[in-house]
A and B are shown apart, each in its own frame.
Chain A
Amino acid sequence: MGRSLNSLFQFCRQMFSNSIHFAVTEFRDIYSALRVLYHSRIAFVITATLLFISIYLIFGYAQVEKTMLEAQKIFYLHVSAAMTVYLAFGVNFIFSIKYLIKRKPDDDLLAVSAAEIGLVFCTIVLLSGPIWAKYAWETWWTWEARLTSTLVLWLMYVGYFILRSALTEDKRKIYSAVLGIIAFFDVPIVHFATKFWETKLHPERGSKFDLLPTMLHTWMTVLAAFVILFLVLLILQYQTIKTESRYEVLRQKHLQELN
C-alpha cells in the first residue's frame, strides 16, 4: 500500500514538473501561448462543449422570467455578446497601445484580430437587440443613449477597417492603433449610458430584472462560452493573418529573387 502510494506520488510529481517545464518552455509569451492553444485544439473542444451546455441550460434549466416570459431568453445571448464586445475591444485597446510603444508587428495583428471578432459580436448585439426591443418596447429602434452609443461604437470599428484598407502598409498600423485607442473610449460610454442619461428603456446598471439563481447560472455559463468562443476565434484569426503576412514577405522575397 505504502509503496503504491509512493509511486503514485512520484508519478504526480513527475507530471507536475513536466507541466511546469512545458509551461515555461512553450508559454514564453502570449503569441506562443496562442500557437500552442491553436495546435492542441483543447480550446475548440471546450468551446463546443460549453455552447452545448449553454443551449441546454437556456431551454431546459433556466426558469421563465415573470414579465417577459419566453422572450426574456434572448437576454442570455444578447447581454453575453455585449460583454464579449467589451472584452474584444479591450484586447484591441491594450495591443494597440502595446504596438505604439514597442512597434512589434504581432501586436498589430492581435489588435486587428480582436477588433474583427469584436465587430462580429457587436453586430450580433445590434441585430438581436431590436428583435427583443420590438417585443419589450414595441419598437425596432429608438435613439436611446445605449442603443445610439452602441451603434456609434460599431461604426467606429467599421471605420477602423476602412482606414486599414485605405492606407499604405507603414501608415496603416500606426493610424489604426491610434483609432483603436480612441474608439475604445466609447465602451465605458456604452456601459454607463443608462446612468449618464437616465434612460427609461434599458434597465439601469445593477437594477436588472430579478435574476433567479437558475437564470444567473445560465447567464454565467453562456458568458463563459462566449468568452472562450472569442478566444478560439481570436486564435484562428490571428494565426490566419499572421500566416498571410508571412506569405506576403516570402512572396516579395521571391519576386525580388526573380528580378
Chain B
Amino acid sequence: MRIVIVLSCLIVIGLVFSAIQVPTIDFAKVEEAINDVKSKSQVNIADEDTLKKTVNLIVKELEADQRTRLKYLVSAYLVIWLVFMLYLVRMGKQQQSLDKRLSQLEQDTEEPVE
C-alpha cells in the first residue's frame, strides 16, 4: 500500500512539475524568428516594430491560454488522485483495525483465528 502511495505521489509531483514548465517565448526569440523569416522568404515588412509587438502579444496570449488549460488539467488529475488516495488510506486503516481486533480475539480465545 505504501509503495502505491509513494509511486503515485511521484507521478503526481512529476505531472505538476511538467505542467509548471510551460516553455515561454521571450521578446528576443520573437525578434529572432521574424528576422529569420524575413531573410528566408524575403518578405518586405514595412513597420517591423509594430509587427514584433503584435507577434509578442499574440505569443503572450497563447501562453496564458495554455497555462489556464494546464491548470484545469492538473487540478482534475490532482482531485482524482486525492480521492483514490483517501480511499486507499481508509481501506488501509480498516484493515489495520481489523488486524488489531483479530489479534485481540486470538489472545482472548488463546486459539489462532484465520
Contacts and interface: CB of A to CB of B under 8 A. Distances in A.
Given A69-B69, A70-B69, A78 B98 contact: no
Contact of A237 (B18, B69, B72, B91): B91
A200 to B, nearest CB: 21
Given A243-B102, A247-B105, A254-B105, A77 B76 contact: yes
Contacts of A240: 91, 94-95, 98
Interface in B73-113: 73, 75-77, 79-80, 83-84, 87, 91, 94-95, 98, 101-102, 105, 108-109, 113
A135 B68 contact: yes
Contacts of A134: 72
B109 A254 contact: yes
Contact size range, B: 20 to 34
Contact of B76 (A74, A244, A250, A251): A74
Consensus secondary structure, chain A interface:
helix
B55 to A, nearest CB: 20
Interface residues of A, number: 32
Contacts of A70: 66, 69-70, 73
A243 B79 contact: no
A69 B68 CA distance: 11
A135 to B, nearest CB: 4
B3 to A, nearest CB: 9
A222 to B, nearest CB: 11
Interface of A: 48, 52, 55, 59, 68-71, 73-74, 77-78, 81, 120, 123-124, 127-128, 131-132, 134-135, 233, 236-237, 240, 243-244, 247, 250-251, 254
